[in-house]
Chain A
Amino acid sequence: MKIYFQKKDFNIGKELNNFSKKNKNVGSIISFVGKVRPVNNNNKLKFMEIDCYKKMALHQTNKIIDILISKGGIIDYQVIHRFGKLLPSDNIVLILVASQHRKEGFFFIEDLIKWFKSKITFWKKEFYLNSSAWLKSQK
């Protein structure tokens, strides 16, 4: 059960393989990978900068995950969320979840992503060919 906020990329295959080996006695392992869209709102992206309040993001993510786990069925999870400079098609987020049955795992990922989209203390600035813009809140 680990949460990482980091600048460096992650190896999807390696992380999934290690997680799967660690969780031998479960019925389901689900992975979600979020990536940088090369085009956003009809603007071709050069790169993106994500600013983050890491300490608060970690504190708040732990709290929401405690709530999600209290719903039952989740055995293990791993979250890696990147910040800093990201290029089009780069990986942004990896969520791995192990559960007895697939349903709880899918709910866990969907609820956590929804929470990330609206509450996590991250701010995205997109850089296009001739301009840049801080993205607006999705709430």
Chain B
Amino acid sequence: MRILYFAKISEELGKNEDLLLIKDKLRIIDVVNILKKKNEKYNLVFKKISNIKFAINCEYATKNDYITDNDELAIFPPVTGG
């Protein structure tokens, strides 16, 4: 699964994307919990999940929505508009 990061989240992680292999389907929150275990930087960035927005394949999603390995997950702060 491709995971994309934007704006402050991308800046704090020091990267724009990750690749993660998952079996079957997982909820977004489960994916975030996997990411948090990667290292302290991830753990800090994803600590306050209430300030984070998600999208699956370019559609807004919530932390309890399910995702599969073929999906593109985007993780970003609330948008600040054009």
Contact in complex: A53, B4 (CB < 8 Å) = yes
- Tally A residues with Cβ within 8 Å of B: 28
- Which one, B19-27, B32-40, B70-78, is touching chain A? B70-78
Inter-chain residue pair count (beta carbon < 8 A): 67
Contact in complex: B82, A93 (CB < 8 Å) = yes
A96 to B48, CA, bound (A): 40
- Shortest Cβ gap from A83 to chain B (Å): 9
- Shortest Cβ gap from A33 to chain B (Å): 13
Contact in complex: B77, A123 (CB < 8 Å) = yes
Contact in complex: B58, A117 (CB < 8 Å) = no
- Please give, as numbers and ranges, the residues of chain B lying within 8 Å of A130 by CB-CB distance: none
Contact in complex: A139, B78 (CB < 8 Å) = yes
* Beyond A118-B79, A123-B7, 7 additional pairs, beta carbon < 8 A: A51-B6, A56-B74, A93-B82, A116-B82, A117-B82, A121-B55, A121-B76
Residues of A within 8 A of B (CB): 34, 50-53, 55-56, 59-60, 81, 92-93, 116-125, 134-139
Residues of B within 8 A of A (CB): 4, 6-8, 10, 55, 58-59, 74, 76-82
The 7 closest A-B pairs by CB, nearest first: A123-B7, A137-B78, A116-B82, A117-B81, A56-B58, A59-B58, A135-B80
